[in-house]
Chain A
Amino acid sequence: MADLSYSEKVKLYIKVAVVLGVITVVEVALTFLPHATQPMKTIVTMGIVALSCSKAFFVAYYYMHLNHEKRWTKIVAGIPVIMLVYTAALIADMPYRPESAYAVEAPRALVYPTTSIIEAQGGAHHGEAHEAAVGGPEAELEFEEKLGEWE
């Protein structure tokens, strides 16, 4: 920083911002690519994660002035990267997991009183359904009976 003049610094900052903007545009464009099939899906996901990690690195390196810090400060700043790598690895692993093996059913009391169901029933009984959902186990039974009636 000390070695750069004011105008050089501002030029560098704006250059980095333009790079960040371009990467963001590329990322958003990637999500619009048709990638329903398996190998493509993983490649696109990994690409987006890699691009955003590079963005995070640019922010830390240039805006947080890590480029002017001593090595130990860089090491301190780099420690959380372990967690980010782990997260990225888990997300990359997602497509390879059989969905049925890991499927978790949503708790009914939380899912059923939402609008998608209630609107399907003509929008009626909104209040009732909600009370039933939050009114404890007895009310829940009642609610299930009502659901049966509707069906």
Chain B
Amino acid sequence: MSSTTTTHPTAGHSPDSANHDHPDDHHGEYAGPPRARDPDVFGKKASHGKVGMWLYLMTDAMTFAGFLLGYALLRVRIADWPKPSDILGLSLATIMTTILIISSVTLVIAQAKCEIKDRKGMIKYLIFTIIGGALFLGLQAYEYNHLAHAFHMSLSNFGGGHPLFASTFFVITGFHGLHVLCGAIYLTVILGRAIAGKYDNGNSQEIEIAGLFWHFVDLVWILVFTFMYLI
């Protein structure tokens, strides 16, 4: 990516690039992904990567929606379903929600820092975001450990009511936790690229696409928190 600035003169800020619909076609070589600062792309056309991420997120949202639907149906049909706030720690879950929301904020700030070419700020806020994800995972591990000891919760057992309460809880929050883990690894790769100077030209496309995934994980947690902890 660092070489694109020199090898592809049409990408970026050249004055005539706005006059071509597809500036890359005239050169017979692939000019790399569209750039955020390109007037043809920015605010008008979504890049391929962004479209791909949105389509993936749509299918992922369907998966989560299916899980939550299954949870709702089981819960309606089972009489001795415990009240979630009696079993699950509401305050801990609220802290986890807050951490994810704050990590979303730090990530959009990192993207904004990238766009004003503030390299140090971008790296700092990317690190904050990854720390937020790691904190969330740590708290979730603590929560699982506590529930396993206090209520003998496992995928198939539960000491305080119907065992499907424990099964659905671990399946849905575990699936979400894996998303957080993947997101943290994804952002670590992005951080590595940021440190290597790939985004020093102010092109925040890759951070934005990784951000789409990260904010989606945040969004899903907001709903999981509501349906599994609060209600």
**Chain A residues at the B interface, C-beta cutoff of 8 Å:** 1-2, 6, 9-10, 13-14, 16-17, 20-21, 24, 27-28, 30-31, 45, 48-49, 51-53, 55-56, 59-60, 63-65, 68-70, 73, 76-77, 79-80, 83-84, 86-87, 90-91, 93-94, 97, 99-100, 102-104, 106-107, 110-111, 113-116
Tell me the dominant secondary structure on chain B's binding face: helix
CB-based closest 6 A-B pairs: A83-B65, A80-B61, A52-B226, A103-B79, A114-B159, A63-B215
B135 within 8 A of A: no
Q: Which residue of A lies closest to B79 (CB)?
A: A103
Q: Which residue of A lies closest to B224 (CB)?
A: A52
Interface contact B211-A64, CB-CB below 8 Å: yes
Given contact pairs A52-B223, A70-B44, A84-B65, a sample of 5 additional A-B residue pairs in the complex whose CB atoms are under 8 Å apart: A17-B105, A21-B98, A48-B230, A59-B104, A70-B46
**A17 / chain B contacts, CB cutoff of 8 Å:** 101-102, 104-105
Give A87 to B64 CA distance when docked, in angstroms: 11
Q: How large is the interface on B (under 10, 10 to 19, 20 to 34, 35 or more residues)?
A: 35 or more
From 56 to 106 in chain B, residues with beta carbon under 8 angstroms from any chain A beta carbon are 57-58, 61-62, 65-66, 68-69, 72-73, 75-80, 85, 90, 94, 97-98, 101-102, 104-105
B157 within 8 A of A: yes
**A56 / chain B contacts, CB cutoff of 8 Å:** 219, 222-223
Question: Given A52-B222, A63-B215: A91 and B227 within 8 A (CB)?
Answer: yes
B49 within 8 A of A: no
Interface contact A106-B163, CB-CB below 8 Å: yes
**A28 / chain B contacts, CB cutoff of 8 Å:** 90, 94, 230
Q: Which residue, of A56, A70, A84, A103, has the highest number of chain B Cβ atoms within 10 A? A: A56
Contact of A64 among B215, B222, B227 (CB under 8 A): B215
In the assembled complex, 19 residue pairs joining A and B whose CB atoms fall closer than 8 Å, in A order, are A10-B109, A14-B105, A21-B101, A31-B90, A59-B215, A59-B219, A64-B211, A64-B212, A65-B208, A70-B45, A83-B61, A83-B65, A91-B231, A93-B76, A106-B162, A111-B163, A113-B157, A114-B152, A116-B159
B156 within 8 A of A: yes
Q: Which residue of B lies closest to A48 (CB)?
A: B230
Give A78 to B43 CA distance when docked, in angstroms: 19
